[in-house]
Amino acid sequence: MDTQLRTFEVFHQSKRGEPHVHVGAVHAPDAELALMLARDQFARRLDCTSLWVVPSDQITATTPAQAEAWFEPATDKSYREAAGFPMRDIIKKAENWSK
């Protein structure tokens, strides 16, 4: 009887202080074996300080269809970006105030 088993997404931390990064998935019957297989697959050659496995169906994700509405604003958001506050002209004016 052959089965694919469930998939678990794998998150890998390469060194302390770094975030866990999604590196792929493994097939396994349960979380414990998923962690062992994830070690073979993703920590065999890459430095690793921590591994997480999460059943694939436990991850909630945005769809491509909603991406544009959710992530690409139609309005100018420069009010909250550094580039939205140009300094050169106003510095000149303030520094030359008494001259």
Partner 1 sequence: MSMMSVLSSVEPQLDWAEPQTGPEFEAKLAAFEARIQRGEKIEPNDWMPLEYRKQLIRMISQHAHSEIVGCLPEGGWIPHAPTFRRKLALTAKVQDEAGHGQLLYRAAETLGVSREQMIDDLLSGRAKYSNIFNYPAVTWADVGMIGWLVDAAAIVNQLMLAEGSYGPYARAMKRICYEESFHLKQGHHFIVTMAGGTPQQRAMVQAALDRWWWPTLMMFGPSDRDSVHLEKMMRWKIKTRTNDELRYDFVAQYAPQILRLGLTIPDPELRYDEAARRWRFGEPDWEEFRRVISGHGPLNAERIAVRRAAHEAGRWVREALAAKSAPTH
Which residues of this chain interact with partner 1, rule CB under 8 A?
1-7, 9, 23-30, 33, 40-41, 44-45, 55-57, 59-66
Q: Give me the least distance between CB of 18 and partner 1, in Å please.
A: 17
Residue 20 contacts residue 29 (beta carbons within 8 Å): no
Q: Give me the least distance between CB of 91 and partner 1, in Å please.
A: 38
Beta carbon nearer to partner 1, 69 or 90: 69
Residue 72 pairs with which residues in a beta bridge?
none
Q: What are phi and psi of 62, to 5 degrees?
A: -70, 155
Q: Give me the least distance between CB of 3 and partner 1, in Å please.
A: 5
Residue 53 contacts residue 35 (beta carbons within 8 Å): yes
